[in-house]
Amino acid sequence: MGQRPNFSQKGSRHLYDLVIVGAGVWGSSAALSALRQGAKSVLLLEADIGAAQRTSAKSGGIVTDLIWHPHDRQLVARSRLLFQEAAEGAGDAHLWQAAGMLTLGGPRQAALFSARRAELSERSIAVALMDRTGLQHQFPALDRLADDTIALYTPQDWHVNPTAYAVQAVSAARRLGLEVRMATPVRRLEVLADSVTVHLADQDPVSAARVLVCAGTWSRQLLRTAGVDIALRPYRTQLSSVRFGRPHDLPIVWHLDTDLYLVPEGGQDMLAGDGTESVESDPESFRQAGDADFLASVAERIVDLTSRGDGAGIRTAWAGLCGATPDRRPLLGRLAPHLYCACGDQGIGVMRGPALGELAAAVALEHTEVPELDPLRFAAADFPIRGGFTLEA
Ligand SMILES: Cc1cc2nc3c(=O)[nH]c(=O)nc-3n(C[C@H](O)[C@H](O)[C@H](O)COP(=O)(O)OP(=O)(O)OC[C@H]3O[C@@H](n4cnc5c(N)ncnc54)[C@H](O)[C@@H]3O)c2cc1C
């Protein structure tokens, strides 16, 4: 047990109600929600120079109802409201856009597509099941599809700007009294009997009645400094920005068989990415540039779908890390007295991020409990890494 702080003495460290580590989408939302939920003194600490500059900034920004877990679908629905609220608050009409998403499959997915169409219709979410003829009619740019292609079209799916969301959440929270320190990495967490001491690089430590770690794929290594280990395995995933030879009017496209996804970026560019590396990567040393074989295979998969991709050029490519958990659900809740975490995004953490931040704040302030997300429900052992952006459980 470390030395306990004496809060009553003049000059002693300030005791915050809540310290949040990490200003990605999750932590920024948690900060705003904590203030809205009545926390009085909240400090947000971020290692980078601004909100959502790391993994959140590398994201494709897809928001879809077509994800596998029913609870995640509720989180997407709540996040949509929070994205809309942020767009209104920022006066930023581009923070979210209804780009629509076309999920391409074949005969193997027919039963799954029918079931998902029924489920979406029941929730009054617009959806259409299409065959190749319908696809050619509505999306003529997809002129190289296999004859037996079928698709689910979800016109209300979005593309969002995660950084714009986080910046707006932090600025709304500042107006409610949030204290923010950017460029302030947390080095170590020390759990005491009645508080947590947060040790910072080059600054005096701060003390908090509660600490909520929203440090994305860095969460495990930070929590280890407090003697806590969680079942989180960071894995790498890549994205590129592609300039098409000709303008296109494509929606978001997700091709299940090749795992390729495309996100429109203006009239001539597309973000193009694919799935999951099934090996663990180190958040401190992973390769942040795109790999040559990734770029070659993305280009091939694009021209297999559309002649608009002929002559397309890759403008830039990058890799980021996502956090896998054994059941592909977040690790969100209490780890020790006064210490909480929210991580385990499974590559679908933007679309659920605002709602998960809100939930994490409620759990850290002890307004609610979510036993099924208990961060200690697994031993922190090796487990297979599997991406979260899937239609099937
Ligand atoms: C290529 C790619 C494409 C993706 N596409 C999508 C998509 O289309 N849709 C979707 O929903 N999701 C997508 N994701 C996943 C999504 O980006 C993440 O789920 C989401 O950004 C997680 O947000 P976060 O706030 O948990 O983490 P982060 O954005 O990683 O935020 C954590 C923050 O904690 C800070 N931090 C870490 N350690 C410390 C420390 N010791 N002290 C202080 N601060 C610290 C970091 O600097 C960082 O800013 C994609 C991810 C990648 C890599």
Ligand 1 binding pocket includes 59 (Cβ within 6 Å): yes
Ligand 1 binding pocket includes 83 (Cβ within 6 Å): no
Share of the chain above pLDDT 90, in %: 90
Does 319 lie in the same domain as 238?
A: yes
Tokens encoding 305: 């779908």
Compute the distance between CA of residue 291 and CA of residue 319 in angstroms, rounded to an integer: 9
Q: In a mutational test of the pocket of ligand 1, which residue from 32, 53, 59, 356 has the highest number of ligand atoms less than 8 Å from its CB? A: 59
* pLDDT the model gives residue 119: 94
Q: What are phi and psi of 167, to 5 degrees?
A: -60, -40
* pLDDT > 60? residue 12: no
Ligand 1 binding pocket includes 350 (Cβ within 6 Å): yes
For 59-85, the pLDDT digits (tens) are 999 999 999 999 999 999 999 999 999
**CATH number of domain containing 111:** 3.30.9.10
* pLDDT > 90? residue 145: yes
For 197-251, the pLDDT digits (tens) are 999 998 999 999 999 999 999 999 999 999 999 999 999 999 999 998 888 889 9
Does 316 lie in the same domain as 257?
A: yes
* pLDDT the model gives residue 13: 59
Residue 74 lies in a domain: no
**Residue 129 pLDDT grade (very low, low, confident, very high; cuts 50, 70, 90):** very high
DSSP per residue, 277-334? -SSB--TTT---BPPHHHHHHHHHHHHTT-GGGTT-EEEEEEEEEEEE-TTSS-EEEE
Instruction: Report the SS3 class of residue 31.
Output: helix
**Residue 266 pLDDT grade (very low, low, confident, very high; cuts 50, 70, 90):** confident
* pLDDT the model gives residue 8: 33
* pLDDT the model gives residue 157: 98
Does 106 lie in the same domain as 249?
A: yes
* pLDDT the model gives residue 328: 97
Beta bridge partners of 239: 273, 318
Compute the distance between CA of residue 163 and CA of residue 194 in angstroms, rounded to an integer: 35
Does 342 lie in the same domain as 211?
A: yes
Nearest atom in ligand 1 to the alpha carbon of residue 28 is 25
Ligand 1 binding pocket includes 45 (Cβ within 6 Å): yes
Distance 56 CA to ligand 1 centre (A): 4
Share of the chain above pLDDT 70, in %: 96
Does 315 lie in the same domain as 349?
A: no
Tokens 């280890």 appear where? 224
For 35-55, the pLDDT digits (tens) are 999 999 999 999 999 999 999
**CATH number of domain containing 185:** 3.50.50.60
Residue 339 lies in a domain: yes
146: phi > 0 → left, psi -120 to 50 → alpha, else beta; which?
A: beta
Range of the domain at 290: 99-156+234-323
Does 183 lie in the same domain as 256?
A: no
